[in-house]
Amino acid sequence: MNDLNIRKTGRAGRITFTRPKALNALSHDMALAIHRALDGWRDDPDVALVIIDAEGERAFCAGGDIAAVYRAGLAGNHALGQQFFADEYRMNAAIADYPKPIVAFMQGFVMGGGVGVGGHASHRIVGDTTQIAMPESGIGLIPDVGGTWLLSRAPGRIGEYLALTGARMGAGDAIHAGFADIYLPEDRWPDLISRLETTGDLSLIEGEDAPTAPLRTMDLSPFAQDTVADIIDALEQDGDAQTLKILHANSPLSMAAGLAMVRAARDDARMQDSLAREYRFTSRATQDTDFLEGVRAQIIDKDRKPRWMADASPAHVAALLAPLGHHELTWREPA
């Protein structure tokens, strides 16, 4: 396909995003193709490791290509979005559980669906341009693609802070928060990739000291409060106008659900548990949430003026996260 370059080079299975003009946004077909490639290499003795990278300087993958989901939802077709999210999440789980090393080189924007690809690799390399974020609260969604799993394992209250604000992390913060492993200047990436292709030898991966991580010293104690309203009250007492501006702009329902989901994920035994919970929300997103309005305002019309109308009460959050019965997300477990 034109949006991905999937091939074998030396000892490596290679997946390269090739739509830099679209910031390498992940489509449904791309998610399926990545999963197929991984399945094909799982038992291939010639493939010692998998390398995932991207063309262009601006983005590894800036998110999911959800325009089709939006259009279908407006027309009353909710099945298309449900199938997209289900297939994407199965691909995310395949990356997390892959029996061979996966090395992701993540430059530029790594957001939403990009985190779902690179953020679950076994070796996650970032550089000076890297900007990682889960900004779904701004489009009426929740941190998905296994994002609640990653956020729940960040130190302190970083997970709650990132889920509600969608703040971007540079290389140092990404490593500190558990979204990346290794800092390496990007001009050294091509040589490392070439040597990994030739040898399949992971010991060649040698990072450098990571840049400063501002999140280490930020006072995030307000995000320990029980509810979004309580968090806002605490921020108001601290006089944190910048953070308050972000929270007042985001979907109240998305923030309430995201907060609950990050905290619930702390008790999950594996990422699939978090993905299944995320799917309960996203499978209902085009019908019962602010998602369509958020996509309209931020991506389609780009007026940046969403009119949030969805019920953000605890009862509605609970309903959106309730089990789906025979529609629950299922997995193809490895043999």
Q: Which pLDDT does position 2 carry in this prediction?
A: 87
Q: Is 113 a catalytic residue?
A: yes
Total structural domains in the chain?
Answer: 1
In a domain, 335, yes or no: no
Select from 136, 130, 186, 144 the least CA-distant residue to 277: 144
Q: Which domain holds residue 228?
A: 4-327
The predicted model scores a pTM of 0.96
Catalytic residue among 108, 113, 119, 127: 113
Residue 168 has pLDDT above 50, yes or no: yes
pLDDT digits (tens, 9 = 90+) for 87-141: 999 999 999 999 999 999 999 999 999 999 999 999 999 999 999 999 999 999 9
In a domain, 220, yes or no: yes
Q: Is 144 a catalytic residue?
A: yes
Catalytic residue among 144, 181, 197, 290: 144
Catalytic residue among 53, 65, 88, 136: 136
pLDDT digits (tens, 9 = 90+) for 36-57: 999 999 999 999 999 999 999 9
Query: Are 110 and 59 contacting, i.e. CB atoms less than 8 angstroms apart?
Result: yes
In a domain, 333, yes or no: no
Q: Which pLDDT does position 207 carry in this prediction?
A: 93
pLDDT digits (tens, 9 = 90+) for 215-257: 999 999 999 999 999 999 999 999 999 999 999 999 999 999 9
The tokens of 33 are what?
């193709």
Q: Which pLDDT does position 334 carry in this prediction?
A: 43
In a domain, 110, yes or no: yes
pLDDT digits (tens, 9 = 90+) for 258-305: 999 999 999 999 999 999 999 999 999 999 999 999 999 999 999 999
Confidence of residue 335 (pLDDT cuts 50, 70, 90): very low
Instruction: Report the CATH number that the domain containing residue 321 is assigned in CATH.
Output: 3.90.226.10
Confidence of residue 324 (pLDDT cuts 50, 70, 90): very high
Q: Which pLDDT does position 331 carry in this prediction?
A: 86
Q: Is 160 a catalytic residue?
A: no
Residue 1 has pLDDT above 80, yes or no: no
Mean pLDDT computed over every residue of the chain: 96
Q: Are strands 123-126 and 4-9 parallel, antiparallel or unpaired?
A: unpaired
Residue burial 290-311, b: 16+ Cβ < 10 Å; e: rest: bbbbbbbbbeeeeeeebebebb
Query: Are 29 and 17 contacting, i.e. CB atoms less than 8 angstroms apart?
Result: no
| Residue 327: other Cβ atoms inside 10 A | 12
Instruction: Please give the average per-residue pLDDT across 322-330, as a whole number.
Output: 95
Query: Are 9 and 197 contacting, i.e. CB atoms less than 8 angstroms apart?
Result: yes
Catalytic residue among 13, 64, 114, 294: 64
Strand partners, 26: 64
In a domain, 42, yes or no: yes
Residue 23 has pLDDT above 90, yes or no: yes
In a domain, 80, yes or no: yes
In a domain, 334, yes or no: no
Query: Are 87 and 31 contacting, i.e. CB atoms less than 8 angstroms apart?
Result: yes
| Residue 99: other Cβ atoms inside 10 A | 8
In a domain, 36, yes or no: yes
Q: Is 64 a catalytic residue?
A: yes
Residue 333 has pLDDT above 90, yes or no: no
Packed helices 28-41 and 79-96: angle between N→C axes, nearest 10 degrees: 30
Residues in the chain: 335
